[in-house]
Structure 1
């Protein structure tokens, strides 16, 4: 259970998040009343419901928490996992509020969870459970295009979002904006191209932007480009896979270790990430993968020397117990809360830099925002302007050829005359969001002598935005 690791450090996951927020509020000298209001989770609903499984009624319990509705709708994923509890859901809802503010997405923060191990159920059983959970949330006002918009998280994906949005459609057949009730849906059913990869892609864009700032790399003890950098990834789920895959294939990083439930696979010359994923899908773990050395103790592999460590699984994997032994120069938090409050302090003292979860894994909510906009507009991105830009490109090519007397090579012609499709535009918007957010984080850290790390700079940005709303509009 993820919270167990936090409890061993003397606090829960939610308390760990609150400690970090308290520190940021203190640095900013924020009004005590606004600070207290910001930390409170505005509402939480717990639901318990029966579903017939193999002829018997089985009871399921879930939660949906809204941390802030200063912007509507409130946004955040729904996770299906046996370790979910209310404390975790509230902590993740708070992180969503700050995450949206950091990357300038106009949503409040929310989160949901259902206590279930999806692997223990047949597809038709899981569909019945998911639809019933959606119905409970809808009836209590925690799922709608205007108020609360869930998305996939651990244990859920496009399939579950499709079931949920169809449940909403059945209950509100006259709501023409029903597709906006959830994001992360299948592309064929209102989803946007690029959403499935978005969080992992966002991690890549965050690292790319950091590597555009030599003075920031110097803080990390790094230099040059991403090419050749040794990367360890913990967790090869949706987020970890795409982050590792893109860094390997597009930035020439060496993925020297991948950690999974059954251990880790290590190769100093770099792993084939797609091959590892195929092996995990086939066998259920990394053991037996021919392209690397198997290590049974995956936790110990977190402590191996590398340039970049990407924890992309559960909360609390780096604690006060192992923080002293972490050898990475830079940690990119692709998971939510992988570094505990106590570990964060130790790593800071040791000079290990951290790109915080509230920024680093925000790619998912950025592209969810794009999907929500697309659903409300009822038109896919690029449909109106793609062919116009293709024609304009052909005109530019013709002008170049007329002026120079030289024919433009075919490979350049294809690039210049190509109009952006939805995938291109989504990736462009995600890249822009991650770039601008990190630039702001770097500027705040540079300009505020009280702030000494990226996490506090990110929280300062988020808290100031939310506090400004409370000061200008009211609670």
Structure 2
């Protein structure tokens, strides 16, 4: 493959991979990494492009797909598989690089990979998508780009549990002697080797990231905010899997006020707050559109929704939504990047100069790969989390209750009995592990922010943490 995005004409916007590399360059400079080592870390190790025919409605259609492996400093390489009409090789390479940095930042021992198929999934029925997915899987397995030990996909834009189950089943038939076949992909249905909590993992991780930010009064004040999440006006772009779960949890558990929802057909606005569940149901009944929802004002100018007055803006759709063209008009005090690459390199500089704090995608949306890691371990271990210790913990709790009642001569309240005797099940453990991961990731970013005097530049802090770990790995194995 030819080298991509080395330099761009000043009049041309950077490509997605160019944006990622420019953002990483700031961290390389701060860490004084040798130029050769920096180029080695930035380089995408390998890219597979496949083209294959599938018989659709009596005629052959040729589909183009990619799988990029950015880094194998840890194995397996990990990253989602997206189906979208706008997928191209540059996007896949950029997303693979982001996966490398993301995994390193939150201490998930994976390299970075990403895959994509250029198609609009809305144009095909279930049977047709299954044919396409199974054929794409065969191509990936034959070329060595799908394996529990080396390359493990997950859901992304346009894919979900269904597609992951098809991939796992196809791999099983191609590699019938591999007892770890379920670990070839994550994000599967729970009854087919998946793990509870994976569907909501990325959105829940976004919420955990925001909660950790608001646990630090000094950083909240530096962002021009005060108090907690409950009194904040939030605008969210994209009510897909990530945006929906993040918005729902913020509304139900943190009493946050969602004042605007931006979707493909426009934006809903209501300063008093918008009920996420009702909007979600409305979209389900109206082909994914928000127009016609009765309890909010609608405008078909969705892009302008990003510029609404609010405390927190959560772009949870696609990349390059905030660019040099609109960054100066952003009025939010805090941007929480739930999507991959929603802020371009040029826009990032404008936002920082205007005092806008940005929690970066490499940290904020790491919840998905974190719980994918838990699922992968579960599949390799062939046992669900909590199976061996849950009843033991319940029994120990009952003994504690009996001891308390014996010592005090009083009956322990029923709510306390439930809390103390509850043995953690798989979902409890998944959420606990995710919360811990997001907390530690934030704390490492905060430490790098202070150590290198980066002001409010959390993005560079995230890259500093990630790249320092990757560089250490390269040094340990003798790459330099």
- Deviates further, 299-308 or 181-190: 299-308
1:298 matched to 2:284: no
CA positional deviation for 1:224: 1.2
Quick check: 2:357–2:456 contact (8 Å CA) kept in 1? no
- Please point out which of 117, 121, 128 is paired with 2:120: 117
Matching of residue 260 in structure 1 with residue 238 in structure 2: no
3-state SS, counterpart of residue 68 of structure 1: coil
Q: CA deviation at 1:474?
A: 2.8
> In structure 2, what is the Cα distance between the partners aligned to 1:313 and 1:164?
25
Count how many residue pairs are aligned between Structure 1 and Structure 2. Answer: 471
Counterparts of 1:443 and 1:215, CA distance in 2 = 13
8 Å CA contact retained: 1:9, 1:342: no
Within 1, Cα distance between the matches of 2:51 and 2:42? 27
Query: Alignment partner for residue 190 of structure 1, among 190, 193, 196?
Result: 193
Q: Tell me the residue number matched to 2:108.
A: 105
Aligned-pair CA distance for 1:107: 0.2
Please list every run of at least 4 consecutive aligned residues from structure 1 whose deviation after the TM superposition is greater than 6 angstroms.
Answer: none
Secondary structure of 1:93's counterpart equals helix
Offset of residue 291 of structure 1: 1.7
The equivalences for 1:85-234 within 5 A come to 85-234=88-237
TM-score in terms of structure 1 length: 0.98
Structure 1 unaligned runs (5+)?
Answer: none
In structure 2, the partner of 1:364 is: 368
Q: Does 1:336 align with 2:340?
A: yes
Describe the SS at the equivalent of 1:79. strand
Native 8 Å contact 1:308 1:330 kept in 2: yes
Partner of 1:448: 452
Give the alignment partner of residue 37 of structure 2, picking from 10, 31, 34.
34
User: Does 2:414 match 1:375?
Assistant: no
Q: Please give the alpha-carbon distance, in whole angstroms, between the structure 2 residues aligned to 1:26 and 1:441.
A: 17
Cross-structure match for 1:435: 439
Tell me what 2:399 maps to. Answer: 395
In the alignment, the residues of structure 1 paired with residue 409 and residue 138 of structure 2 have an alpha-carbon distance, to the nearest angstrom, of 66
Shift, 1:167, TM fit: 0.3
Q: Distance in 2 between matches of 1:446 and 1:106?
A: 26
Superimposed CA distance per residue, residues 246-267 of structure 1 (whole angstroms, 9 cap, x where no aligned partner): 0000000001111000001111
Q: Deviations over 1:211-267 (max 9, x none)?
A: 110111011111111112111110000000000000000000001111000001111
Query: For residues 408 and 448 of structure 1, what CA distance do their matches in structure 2 show?
Result: 51
Aligned residue for 2:48, secondary structure, equals strand
State the distance in 2 between where 1:404 and 1:286 align: 58
Task: Tell me, yes or no, if the aligned pair for 1:75 and 1:107 is still in contact at 8 Å.
Answer: yes
Q: Is 1:411 matched up with 2:415?
A: yes
2:468 matched to 1:464? Answer: yes
Q: What is the CA RMSD across the aligned residues, in angstroms?
A: 1.3
C-alpha distance in structure 1 between counterparts of 2:430 and 2:397, whole Å: 21
- Specify whether residues 9 and 426 from structure 1 end up closer, same or farther in structure 2 by C-alpha distance, changes over 3 A only: farther
Question: What is the rounded CA distance, in whole Å, between the counterparts of 2:66 and 2:255 in structure 1?
Answer: 41
Pick from 261, 285, 288 the counterpart of residue 282 of structure 1: 285
Deviation by residue 1:163-197 (Cα, 9 ceiling, x = unmatched)? 00000000011100000000000000000000000
Whether 1:353 aligns to 2:357 is yes
